[in-house]
Structure 1
Amino acid sequence: MSEENKKGKNDQFGELVKSMNQFFHDKPVKGFLQTMDEFFRAPFPFQSAFPVEVRESKDEHIITAQLPGVKREQIQLDILDNYVTITVQSHELFTEEDDHQRPVRRRQSMQRSSRTIPLPQPIAENKVKASYQNGLLQIRVPKQKGKKILIEGND
């Protein structure tokens, strides 16, 4: 193979690499690749399974959830039978602007995360108390007073 043929093939390969490089750096593809990079860097702004601790005292169950950076309006509590469900929702709108402060791209992000905590007995929902302060949600669930049954026998 002559030197001219080798040089021609190298030039063709160089042109191919150059066009591929340009393809990945042009606007639509570059924006898509940046979005994918951002997603894999932080797929969920707040953890999908936030930390929850359940303690028990003589009179109540105390459920504590750590929700740093979450606003009270984003939290929803639901009670069904003997389950407490904590749901956190986040809705954000991202706008990218060009050099002249004109919107170039808009993106919406909606995240939802929940934890369901089972308790050993049905819950009287009208007696449950919840407070949220400094990223810490605390739910106090009073224990139900059951009736003690006397067991008869011939002992």
Structure 2
Amino acid sequence: MPLMPYEPFRYLDQFRREFDRFFSDLPENVSAIGERFGGPRVDVHETEDAVIVTCDIPGLEKKEDVKIEIEPNLLMLSGTIQHTRDVKQEQMHRQERMVGHFKRTVSLPTSVSSEGVKATYKNGVLEIHMPKRMNEQRKAIDIEFH
């Protein structure tokens, strides 16, 4: 039987990898239960002049039910999805659709301006177009070379 050196942390490294894999899909801010379980899912992409966030939020009935806040590198979505019908709890057999308060904070890939933001909601999909914050144009600096 070959001798193997004793490595007490060998299994700890494997545990760390499994732990990281398990929690890798958690959102950055899990303060609201809606972010992890049944919260709105988002897609974020950018064009030359804008950052576009597409978010599935079925069940909104009016624009006052959702709030959009923007910081230079963050988008905060929150709101409430109301019951469309009043059903007594004892008559409910299955309830899988998200109902209640939701909150989601999304990191943006670049700084955006809160001026000129356009949001549209159609067929349960919220789409937010945010113009990129325009920094000073790049300027070539002339070097005095002696």
TM range (shorter): 0.5 to 0.7
Q: 1:124 Cα deviation (Å)?
A: 2.1
Aligned mates of 1:58, 1:72 — CA distance in 2: 32
Tell me: higher relative CO, structure 1 or 2? Use CA pairs within 8 A at least 6 residues apart: 2
2:50 corresponds to which of 54, 57, 60: 60
Q: 1:49 Cα deviation (Å)?
A: 2.4
Q: 1:95 Cα deviation (Å)?
A: 6.6
TM-score normalised to structure 1 length: 0.51
Query: Does 2:69 match 1:78?
Result: yes
Identity %: 26
Partner secondary structure for residue 115 of structure 2: helix
Query: Does 2:102 match 1:119?
Result: no
Summarize the alignment of residues 1-150 of structure 1 with structure 2, pairs less than 5 Å apart: 48-73=38-63, 74-92=65-83, 94=86, 96=88, 111-147=100-136, 148-150=138-140
- Relative to total residues, which structure has the larger helix share, 1 or 2? 1
Letter in 2 for 1:137: L
Aligned mates of 1:145, 1:122 — CA distance in 2: 9
- The size of the alignment, in residue pairs, is 98
- Cα deviation per residue 1:32-69 (whole Å; 9 max; x = unaligned)? xxxxxxxxxxxx8xx54211001111111110001122
Gaps of 5+ in 1: 1-43, 97-109
- Relative to total residues, which structure has the larger strand share, 1 or 2? 1
Letter in 2 for 1:61: V
Aligned mates of 2:110, 2:62 — CA distance in 1: 27
- Cα deviation per residue 1:101-147 (whole Å; 9 max; x = unaligned)? xxxxxxxxx82211112224443212111110110100001112222
Larger Rg over CA atoms: 1
Verify the 8 A CA contact 2:57 2:124 in the aligned structure 1: yes
Aligned mates of 1:69, 1:95 — CA distance in 2: 16
Verify the 8 A CA contact 1:72 1:132 in the aligned structure 2: no
TM-score normalised to structure 2 length: 0.54
Aligned mates of 1:48, 1:88 — CA distance in 2: 13
